[in-house]
Structure 1
Amino acid sequence: MSIEIQQAFNAISEKYDKQRPLLIPCFKDFYGVTLELSNNISNVENILDIGAGTGLLSAFYAEKYPNANITLVDISADMLNKAKNRFQGNDKINFLQADFSTVDFEEGKYDLVVSGLAIHHLTHELKQVLFQKIYYALKSSGMFINADQVKGATDFSEKIYTENWRNHVLASSLTEEEKQSAFERIKLDIMAPLDEQLKWLRDAGFSMANCFYQYFNFVVFAAKKDSIINQTSLN
């Protein structure tokens, strides 16, 4: 992940959470579906939040699973400092300042690996490598849940996605400076089509990879690790 991205998110760390509902037109459903999908895991003890930022997504999981250990990894020190303030006094929360595109995760440790609006910053090659690392970091029957933005499968759909989001931001109560800052940050994004990412997950070894929610280019997709199915498919 580039230094430019790290600097961009350090710069907005103070306003990040307040801006989320204004920048995400489907905010409640986007995070709500992400959280609801975790119901498919019977026992959640360890969660890894990739690109955790200020801990907004982790906060939802911490409320739902108060006894779970949650590890937040992010490249931005300023964003993680906000997360540390958010979870002050909670000894179930751990922090790792690192580039999640290159750091190695402990194998077979996590029941859930989650991510919110982070992985689209990686090159497509690094996305594929990360999906493989996530697969190995999960326990058998663990799940990866990703709430992210995707590129349109065609130029037509991409144009609609881009214009819808831009019009939403322009109509929001953000200041003019905040709107322009958002438009500049999105230039750093490297979005990939949804279907390609689902294929990359299957290529990484996941037995199930599906999209469960979509609002224009905001999607929630998930993949399940099932060692029995995978072993059977190899025989």
Structure 2
Amino acid sequence: MVVDKIQYQFNAVSDKYDKQRRILIPCFSDYYQTALEISEQLPQIKSILDVGAGTGLMSAFFHEKYPNAEITLVDISEKMLDKAKERFDSEDNIQFMQADFAEADFGEDKYCAIVSGLAIHHLPHDLKQLLFNKIFKALKPGGIFINADQVAGETDYIDQINKSTWVTKVKKSSLTEIEKESAFERVKLDIFAKLSDQLSWLQNIGFENVNNYYQYYNFVVFAGQKPKK
């Protein structure tokens, strides 16, 4: 099963994941900074759900910005979450949920912000849409969904440029040959959707102020807001 393969791949790389991510995301600083800046549109953030949280890298940035917010991390990989628990060992406002986020119940009207970093692209497109629906329900009125992810190019030509550029950068990076091959194996499990399709899905669900705020080749940061009552 694809889910089992994803869990295996990310369990295997958990020890080195954060270090590698700074290399595997050529636009690392701008990427995560944009996600944080989008959240500033809300007057206050008291609760955050991190979908596909991995080792807690995205949550760490949001925890630093909103130290009093309750943050829940959900991820399918036990070993990745173990690293997240080590990261937040002394924090009492951080919770963890090991689960397939495509199937997990997030509740209703519960979170001020729901964020995700490089996770949702692992799902088939129908499950992406179902997840977006769950996220919409789980947000409080006026809450925001911020997704930093990778997308397919709008044409085959653009998609090829995006993917080949990333491969070239990884090959020229300081990663070991084993680390590079591991990264190339993991991307075989990716199921990219076009940005335009995902923005349309959010709008059709009922999100407002849907917009893409950042793009570097196939790395994007887009967001949508649940209407206020």
Under TM normalisation by the shorter chain, which class is it? over 0.9
**What is the CA-CA distance between 1:104 and the residue it aligns to?**
1.1
Identity over the aligned pairs, expressed in percent? 59
Q: CA deviation at 1:106?
A: 1.5
Runs (4+) of structure 1 exceeding 4 A deviation are none
CA distance in 1, matches of 2:56, 2:166: 24
| 1:195-221 C-alpha deviation (Å, 9 max, x unpaired) | 000001111110221100000000000
One-letter code aligned to 1:143: I
1:43 alignment partner in structure 2: 44
Q: TM-score w.r.t. structure 1 length?
A: 0.96
Given the alignment of the two structures, is residue 151 of structure 1 paired with residue 152 of structure 2, yes or no? yes
Q: Which amino acid aligns with 2:77?
A: S
Number of equivalent positions:
228
Q: Does 1:54 align with 2:58?
A: no
- Matching residue's letter, 2:79: D
Q: TM-score, normalised by structure 2?
A: 0.98
d(CA) in 2 for partners of 1:209, 1:126? 20
**Secondary structure at 1:107's aligned position in 2?**
coil
What corresponds to 2:110 in structure 1? Answer: 109
Give, as a single letter, the amino acid of the residue that structure 1 aligns with 2:169. H
Q: Distance in 2 between matches of 1:104 and 1:85?
A: 25
Match of 1:233 in 2: none
Secondary structure at the residue paired with 1:183? Answer: helix
Query: Is there any run of 5+ residues in structure 1 with no aligned partner, and where?
Result: 229-235
1:180 aligns with 181
CA RMSD of aligned residues (A): 0.7
Offset of 1:182 from its aligned partner? 0.5
In the alignment, the residues of structure 1 paired with residue 208 and residue 40 of structure 2 have an alpha-carbon distance, to the nearest angstrom, of: 18
Q: Which amino acid aligns with 1:82?
A: K
1:42-76 deviations in Å (ceiling 9; x for gaps): 11000000000000000000000010000000000
After superposition, give the CA deviation of every residue in 1:146-200 in whole Å (9 maximum; x if it has no partner): 0000001101000100111001101100000100111110000000000000001
Letter in 2 for 1:48: L
